[in-house]
Amino acid sequence: MYQLTGVTKRYRRGKDTVDALRGIDLAIADGDQLVIQGPTGGGKSTLLQMLGGLDRPTNGSVLLDGTDLARLGETRLTRVRAQQIGFIFQSFNLIPTLTAQENVETALVPLGVHPGQRRQQAAEALESVGLGERLSHLPSELSGGQQQRVAIARALVKQPKVLLADEPTGNLDEATRDDIMSLLEGLWRDRGLTFVIVTHDSAIAKRAPRLATIRKGTLTVRESTPS
């Protein structure tokens, strides 16, 4: 589980200092789903980066199963990202020159999986998101929704403990958004993932069992009953 205590992130922008996060305390239990909502520049993505070990807080601690990500060396932090955390980005962030299958394989490369097994696992992951027929397609040959499915397959192929999604439906139309959210929620339930979503979308927020709102770097958490 995650345990964040007094997490502060301060940036310098020229002569000014910006407090992106101000003393955040947050606990996320294993298998929880948390939706983080808030205005642009409120600190949502920064908080997600702290949870994913992509950035370090200026102050405070980010414990994942008792390991403080804020204090880990770069090599170990990279290993934690490779083994335990899956990321989904708003812009999909697929490698444009690699096929869908190869894009999914990139998540298995740091784990040292044998190429043959890697290809098979990637194919299975794509099958599980409904893209079994699109293995050899380049991202440019796929729709936005399909690209996001490839990104989801890439995040899940290594069977992570945590899934972090940053505006996963931000670039999709409503129908595709619903498809993707249904897929993600299904996977979350089936696999018992700890799932954190950052979103602007109120429709997604309404469906969340637990909603956190972040404004000017300050977080408030509300337990809610999904509508």
Partner 1 sequence: MFFTYLRRELRRRRKAALVVALGLALGIGLVITVDSVSSGMDQAQGKVLKSLYGLGTDMTVTKAASAASATTRPQFNFNANSSGSSQSSDRVLVQGFQTLASSTATEVGAQPHVAKAVGGLNLQVLKINGTFTQGQFQPGQGSGQGSSQGGPGGGQSPQGQVRGGGAQFDANSYSVYGVDVSDLTLGPLSSSKITSGAGLTAADAKAADAVVDASYAKQNKIAVGSQLTIKGTKFKVVGISTADSGDAAADVYLPLSRAQTLADAKDKITTVYVKASDSQQISAVKSAIQKDVPGTTVTTSADLASTVSGSLSTASSLASNVGRWLSIAVLIAAFLVAGLLTSSAVSRRVREFGTLKALGWKSGRVTRQVMGEALVNGLIGGALGIALGLAGAYAVTAISPTLTAQLGGGGSAPGGGGPGGFGGGARQAAARTVDIALTAPVSVATIVLAVLLALGGGLIAGTFGGWRASRLRPADALRRVE
Q: How far is the CB of 130 from partner 1 (least distance, A)?
A: 22
Our CB check for partner 1 shows the closer of 160 and 207 to be 160
Our CB check for partner 1 shows the closer of 66 and 96 to be 96
Contacts of 179 (CB under 8 A, 6+ apart): 145
Q: How far is the CB of 99 from partner 1 (least distance, A)?
A: 9
Our CB check for partner 1 shows the closer of 2 and 87 to be 87
State which amino acid sits at residue 71: R
Q: How far is the CB of 135 from partner 1 (least distance, A)?
A: 14
Q: How far is the CB of 62 from partner 1 (least distance, A)?
A: 13
Q: Which helix (H) or strand (E) holds 120?
A: helix 115-128
Our CB check for partner 1 shows the closer of 83 and 220 to be 83
Tell me the angle at which helices 174-191 and 144-156 cross, rounded to the nearest 10 degrees.
Answer: 10
Q: Which of 147, 189, 195, 192 is nearest to 169 (CA)?
A: 147
Task: Pull the structure tokens for residue 71.
Answer: 């204090």
- Residues 211, 35: Cα–Cα separation, whole Å: 5
Q: Which residues bind partner 1 (CB under 8 A)?
A: 45, 49, 52, 54-55, 74-75, 78-79, 81-83, 87, 89-91, 93, 95-98, 102, 105-107, 109-111, 115, 118, 154
Contact at 8 Å (CB) between 149 and 156? Answer: no
Q: How far is the CB of 147 from partner 1 (least distance, A)?
A: 13
Compute the Cα dihedral for 91, 183, 31, 215 and give only its sign: positive
Our CB check for partner 1 shows the closer of 114 and 227 to be 114
